[in-house]
Structure 1
Amino acid sequence: MTESKWIDISQPLTNDMAHFPGDTPFDYSLTYSIEQTGSVNVGQMTGSLHTGTHIDAPFHYDSKGKTIEELDINLAIGKAKVIDVSDAEKITAETFQGYDFKGISRVLLHTSLPNNPNRFPDKMPDLDPGVAPLLKEKGVKLIGVDMPSVDAPDSKDLATHHALYDNGIFILENLMLDHVVPGDYELVAVPLAITGADASPVRAVLRSLS
Structure 2
Amino acid sequence: MKDNQWIDISQPLDEKLAHWPGDTPFHYVTEYTKEQTGSVNIGKLTMSLHSGTHIDAPFHFDNDGARVLDLDINRYTGTARVINASAFEKLDEHAFSQFDLSGVTRVLVKTSVPNNPAHFPEDFPYVTPCGADHLKQCGIQLIGVDVPSVDHPVSKELEGHHALLKNDIAILENIMLDHVEDGDYELIALPLPIREGDGSPVRAVIRKQS
The TM-score, its normalising length taken from structure 1, stands at 0.96
Root-mean-square deviation (Å):
1.1
Are the counterparts in 1 of residues 83 and 107 from structure 2 also a CA contact under 8 Å?
yes
Give the aligned partner of residue 7 of structure 1.
Answer: 7
**Cα deviation per residue 1:132-180 (whole Å; 9 max; x = unaligned)?**
1111111100000000001112211000000010000010000000000
**Cα deviation per residue 1:88-141 (whole Å; 9 max; x = unaligned)?**
112221112253323200000000010000011111123322111111111100
Are the counterparts in 1 of residues 126 and 160 from structure 2 also a CA contact under 8 Å?
no
State how far apart, in whole Å, the 2-side matches of 1:91 and 1:105 are. 17
Q: Comparing 199-208 with 127-136, which one deviates more in the overlay?
A: 127-136
Superposed, which structure 2 residues align to 1:95-106 within 5 Å?
Answer: 95-106=95-106
Give the aligned partner of residue 203 of structure 1.
Answer: 203
Q: 1:16 Cα deviation (Å)?
A: 1.8
SS at match of 1:130: helix
User: Unpaired runs of 5+ in structure 1?
Assistant: none
State how far apart, in whole Å, the 2-side matches of 1:153 and 1:30 are. 33
State how far apart, in whole Å, the 2-side matches of 1:52 and 1:197 are. 16
SS at match of 2:129: coil
User: Unpaired runs of 5+ in structure 2?
Assistant: none
Give the aligned partner of residue 146 of structure 1.
Answer: 146
The TM-score, its normalising length taken from structure 2, stands at 0.96
Runs in 1 of length 4+ with deviation above 4 angstroms?
none
Give the aligned partner of residue 94 of structure 1.
Answer: 94
The alpha-carbon distance between structure 1 residues 79 and 29, as it changes in their structure 2 partners (threshold 3 A), is same
Give the aligned partner of residue 137 of structure 2.
Answer: 137
SS at match of 1:160: helix
Are the counterparts in 2 of residues 17 and 26 from structure 1 also a CA contact under 8 Å?
yes
Are the counterparts in 1 of residues 3 and 207 from structure 2 also a CA contact under 8 Å?
no
SS at match of 1:151: coil
State how far apart, in whole Å, the 2-side matches of 1:90 and 1:64 are. 28
Give the aligned partner of residue 124 of structure 1.
Answer: 124
Superposed, which structure 2 residues align to 1:181-200 within 5 Å?
Answer: 181-200=181-200
One-letter identity of the residue aligned with 1:92:
D
Give the aligned partner of residue 111 of structure 1.
Answer: 111
Are the counterparts in 2 of residues 79 and 103 from structure 1 also a CA contact under 8 Å?
no
The alpha-carbon distance between structure 1 residues 127 and 3, as it changes in their structure 2 partners (threshold 3 A), is closer
Give the aligned partner of residue 157 of structure 1.
Answer: 157
Identity of aligned residues (%): 56
Q: How many residues align?
A: 209
Q: 1:38 Cα deviation (Å)?
A: 1.1
